[in-house]
Amino acid sequence: MIDVQNLTRRYGRHVAVDGVSFQVAQGEVVGLLGPNGAGKTTTMRILAGYLPATSAEVLEVAGHDVLRASLEVRKRIGYLPEAVPLYRELRVEEMLRFHGRLHGMDGARLRSRMGEVLERVGLTDRARQLVGNLSRGLRQRVGLAVALLPGPEVLILDEPTSGLDPLQRREVRDLVRELGAEHTVLVSSHILAEVEAMCPRVLVLTGGRLVADGSREELEARLGGRGAVRVEAVVGPDPEAARALMASLPGVERVELGERLGIHYTFRVHGEGDLREDVGALAATQGWALRELSFQSRSLEELFAHLVAGGDAQELEAAGAASPSGAAPAAEVQPDPAGASLTLELPQAPASSAGAPSERASAAPSPAPQPATGKRVIYSLNPFDRGAQRDLGAPVEVEDAPAPAIDEAGLTPPRPDAGEEPA
């Protein structure tokens, strides 16, 4: 329905849209997401035939070339600009009638179609009111009704929820979602939640360039933001050891140590798939008192911030490995290469991570001596794990439990080599 290849638009020296390519299939609802000034409106204006493209290899909407067969395209699209341009001095029905006539509709067909769209946007009882006297939200609906009137194949809606109150936003969102059943919809917004709610597929524009295209899941997967397991547990006096232990689990890519909440520590375990059961099993063997164990998918908001802050496609490629910005001291442990021994190298607090320790030290003021640890074997931690790419039947070795969670001082005598050379 929409086919764009290498679309570029310049305003003098300023490049507003820079080599954007995407396709939208029939019946898709696609969100164009980006901060203000990213080129969303320009792209939409070009697609609607209002602005000419500076250059484009392919620029087709509804099967017609936008530049060469502009009128054919205009007949087949419903375009609602951000400003919702309507003649304020006309009544709602007059505005619709005018638009219908421009589309060559007349008589009974126009009347019945007007009734339908007014019903659809919930304005049947406002048909006789002057457009200029309507509130912003109602005018937005009139704009939608106008765009819908000729039954266009493609709907291009520029920020249809801007300037609305939360309730109206939800109405418009629901409406747009419904419209996807009959029309191909391209809708823009700079608000993540809107796009997330309306569109199964998202195009992210920033600085005139398309930095991401895909469903929410695809975007998340591409950015390595597949979500994480949040763990809140009593893990004993040395959270760093517990973190390393979790990081040693198969399938875990890295573990971030979060803040301390009383006697509880929080962790975020990143890895393939849902690792809750693995972590749970580990906690059971270690005798940690779990308070929370939940899977949290990374929000599109984070992804967006990441994309826009990076603002660069190369950045995007590398994003999978990069750690997301986090306020918590996030010491990282790269997972061992596959097949390597899972024997733990307990990180030395001062040596391994330079920035974090001061905070950690204050969180755990008395680093308890390490108890003797031995290797333990855990079998098939999570046989139902969907994402894990490992031999689930194979035994997994983990370190033996460290000191009991609540350490009665003096019960475990400090070992001379503790903290220096464990195991």
Interface contacts to another protein, rule CB under 8 A: 9, 11-12, 16, 42, 45, 48-52, 71, 74-75, 79, 81, 83-90, 98-99, 101-104
- 3-state SS record for the chain: CEEEEEEEEEECCEEEEEEEEEEECCCCEEEEECCCCCCHHHHHHHHCCCCCCCECCEEEECCEECCCCHHHHHHHEEEECCCCCCCCCCEHHHHHHHHHHHCCCCHHHHHHHHHHHHHHHCCHHHCCCEHHHCCHHHHHHHHHHHHHCCCCCEEEECCCCCCCCHHHHHHHHHHHHHHCCCCEEEEEECCHHHHHHHCCEEEEEECCEEEEEEEHHHHHHHCCCCCEEEEEEECCCCHHHHHHHHHCCCCEEEEEEEEEECCEEEEEEEECCCCHHHHHHHHHHHCCEEEEEEEECCCHHHHHHHHHHHCCHHHHHHCCCCCCCCCCCCCCCCCCCCCCCCCCCCCCHHHHCCCCHHHHHHHCCCCCCCCCCCEEEEECCCCCCCCCCCCCCCEEEEECCCCCCCCCCCCCCCCCCCCCCCC
Q: Taking the complex as a whole, how short is the minimal distance between the CB of residue 257 and another protein, in angstroms? A: 51
CB of residue 104 to another protein, shortest distance in Å? 7
Which CB sits closer to another protein, 41 or 353? 41
Which CB sits closer to another protein, 11 or 379? 11
CB closer to another protein, 136 vs 415: 136
Taking the complex as a whole, the smallest distance from the CB of residue 272 to another protein amounts, in Å, to 47
Q: How far is the CB of 102 from another protein (least distance, A)?
A: 5
Shortest Å, Cβ 354 to another protein: 51
Residue with smaller CB distance to another protein, 143 or 237: 143
Question: Is the CB of 2 or the CB of 233 nearer to another protein?
Answer: 2
Q: How far is the CB of 178 from another protein (least distance, A)?
A: 24
Closer residue to another protein in complex, CB, 139/243? 139
Quote the least distance from Cβ 59 to another protein, whole Å.
15
Of the two residues 94 and 277, which places its CB atom closer to another protein in the complex?
Answer: 94
